[in-house]
A = this chain, B = another copy of it.
Amino acid sequence: MKLVLATNNKGKVREMSEILAPYEIEVISMDAFEHIGEIEEDGDTFRENAVKKASITCERTGLMSLADDSGLEVDHLGGAPGIHSARFAGEEKNDEANNTKLLQLLAEVPAERRTARFRCVVAVAVPGGWVYTAEGTCEGVIAGEPRGDGGFGYDPLFYLPEYGKTFAELDPGTKNKISHRAHALAGALDILSELKKVEGKE
């Protein structure tokens, strides 16, 4: 079964491909299509953006498409950077600049008030205007300095007290079990696995 991943973010493509690998799903990246074009993420919520990306990609490829929109919500910043996570430090997407800005904003904030969560909404769109969404979160704390070089985005600053590691220090197998994206995809997989049920008894 084919599924288009509606993202140009190589980190997301890698993670989602790893999570979907056991499900006999042929993941197709956007590179396979020449004329998809940019899709502006101008929604007010993760859900709006995910639905928009999945729906437009589905329309343009004619195949079932899955998109995610995700971001970091820092409690001390009232939920920022949220849907602006990728462009927190400026119009150009820059993980390092985003992390630096976040550390500066939290410079005087003690550990116990650096709570945060990653949130992810996954949308699955099917030709004909059908769309389904699922959401996942992962709770953590913003570290005092970047640690680790796995993952992408804010991962080096996202510290999980129960593991004593940041997302960037966790092995990918563990991250792909506990992350916001893993939880959101698990919801989508409930639908995807239903859609494969052909081998039932007559």
Contacts and interface: CB of A to CB of B under 8 A. Distances in A.
Interface of A: 1-4, 45-47, 51, 62-64, 121, 123-124, 126-133, 135, 190-192, 194-198, 200, 202
Nearest to A131: B198
Contacts of A195: 124, 126, 130-132, 191
A132 B2 contact: no
A15 B24 CA distance: 35
A105 to B, nearest CB: 24
A200 to B, nearest CB: 6
Contacts of A47: 198, 200, 202
Contacts of A2: 128-129
A196 B132 contact: yes
A64 B127 contact: yes
Contact of A191 (B62, B123, B128, B194): B194
Contacts of A46: 202
Contacts of A192: 130
B51 A133 contact: no
Contact of A128 (B1, B194, B200, B202): B1
Contacts of A133: 197-198, 200
25 contacts: A1-B129, A45-B202, A47-B200, A47-B202, A51-B198, A63-B128, A64-B127, A64-B128, A64-B130, A121-B202, A123-B198, A126-B127, A126-B195, A130-B192, A131-B196, A131-B198, A132-B194, A132-B196, A132-B197, A132-B198, A133-B197, A133-B200, A135-B200, A135-B202, A191-B194
Given A47-B202, A64-B126, 20 more contacts: A1-B130, A2-B128, A2-B129, A45-B202, A46-B202, A51-B198, A62-B127, A63-B128, A64-B128, A123-B198, A126-B195, A130-B195, A131-B195, A131-B196, A132-B196, A132-B198, A133-B198, A135-B200, A135-B202, A190-B194
